[in-house]
A and B are shown apart, each in its own frame.
Chain A
Amino acid sequence: MPSSHLTARASGLVRCPTCALVSGTRDGLLCPRCSSSVQRRKPDSLQRTWALTLSAGILYVPANIYPIMTVIKMGSGEPKTIVAGVMALIEANMWPLALIVFIASVIVPLGKIIILLYLLISVQIGLKTHLKERMILYRLMETFGHWSMVDIFLVTMLATLVKTGSWATIEPGMGVTFFGTVVILTLLAARAFDPRLVWDSAHGHL
């Protein structure tokens, strides 16, 4: 029986990232069951997660400054940023929808960047507390991370539907590209982060 805190790495074993087979294969060699390359930990996890998270944080600024769409009514245009889109829903008294869009397009991307920074820093300083709580944050980020894409899908639909009408036109703006890039970078950052490092660092094995 494995002792209560024995990890695969401490036992000289490795879990295949693809098929989950636990074997004694050495790092960089192939899993005996599915032939994927196995690694005890995701390679360069911290460096890659830092790079992707910081890039996402920087691009978050233009993503919110540039309009994601311009609604042109009777010849006059109204550029709208992501936050303005949420405000418009609140003004129209569509509270439940405003809340969903606010969560998906503001809370989720910002929350992801903050959670990633917290996880990275806590691992690097070897924080020994809140291990389970940090895993919950990690899982939240994994589960809800892709919901911010809703803005990108929304703009493509609105621009297609309202394009030739004499009453209004909706033009997509630069913000779409920036925001889409932020969402993809945060998704890649979450995947680059190896949650096992949280436990390694708390036990002084980093």
Chain B
Amino acid sequence: MFRGSSSPLLPNPSGLVACHECDLLHRLPTRKAGSVLSCRRCGAVLLQNRPDSIPRTAALTLGAFILFAVVNGFPLLILKIGGRETSLTLIEGALELGNHGMWEVVIVVLLTSLVFPALHFLVLLYVLLPLTLGRVPPGAITGFKMADMVAPWGMIGVYLLGVLVAVVKLADLATVVPGVAAYALGGVLVLGTAAGRALDHEMVWNRIGKSVSCHLLT
């Protein structure tokens, strides 16, 4: 009744998928590259089979990570007034509120704009780069779990909107120019989003997870 887990086309060894939003069971169709399976009851997207998911996600994540390093080395915003220039980097922006005693805000801003996105990219690279060479790195299960856990808390896109609003708000007071880091942050957002869309979770779990035999189900 159930096919074995060795077939690369069968993403879930049970041959079944349960909708994460309404719990309806679906039998997995034979997966074609680029196919999307939606829940027939609530419409949630259950599986997205992306062609060359692992190398593609690894490449896009590597690009995002390199650009994110650029973001942290250059100013985000440059303010010019009366011949003087003030600039701000991502970390300086996060730390400033510590001078006003608002350390809880500093921690939240540091985590969401810097630590979680960086950790997400790093852990994903740690898992996916060896996989492209056919190797499973030690601790891949823990690593991939961690990447999934921090992903929703990285808020680069929101931060970028904040940069845009800051430029416009200060426009009538002074000359404000987005720095190199602002453009790089835009690049991180584009590459990071593309990487998220290219990632086929089922495929990765099948490669790194423990092998599951089908008798568990019967």
Contact = CB atoms under 8 A, between A and B. Distances in A.
B104 A156 contact: no
A27 B43 CA distance: 26
A47 interface: no
A196 B217 CA distance: 22
Contacts of B158: 104, 146-147, 149-150, 153
B210 A157 contact: no
Given A34-B209, A35-B210, A8 B22 contact: no
Interface residues of A, number: 72
B9 interface: no
B145 A34 contact: yes
Given A101-B165, A163-B96, A168 B18 contact: no
Nearest to A147: B158
Interface residues of B, number: 66
Which one of B14, B20, B25, B173 has the greatest number of beta carbons of chain A within 10 Å?
Answer: B25
B168 interface: yes
Given A20-B205, A33-B205, A177-B102, A157 B23 contact: no
Interface of B: 12-14, 16-18, 20-27, 40-44, 76-77, 79, 81, 86, 88, 92-94, 96-97, 100, 102, 104-105, 108-109, 112-113, 141, 145, 148, 152, 155, 158-159, 161-166, 168-170, 172-174, 176, 201-202, 205, 209-210, 212, 216-217
B25 A6 contact: yes
Given A34-B145, A180-B105, A168 B100 contact: no
B42 A2 contact: no
Nearest to A135: B42
A162 interface: yes
B21 A176 contact: no
A176 B103 CA distance: 11
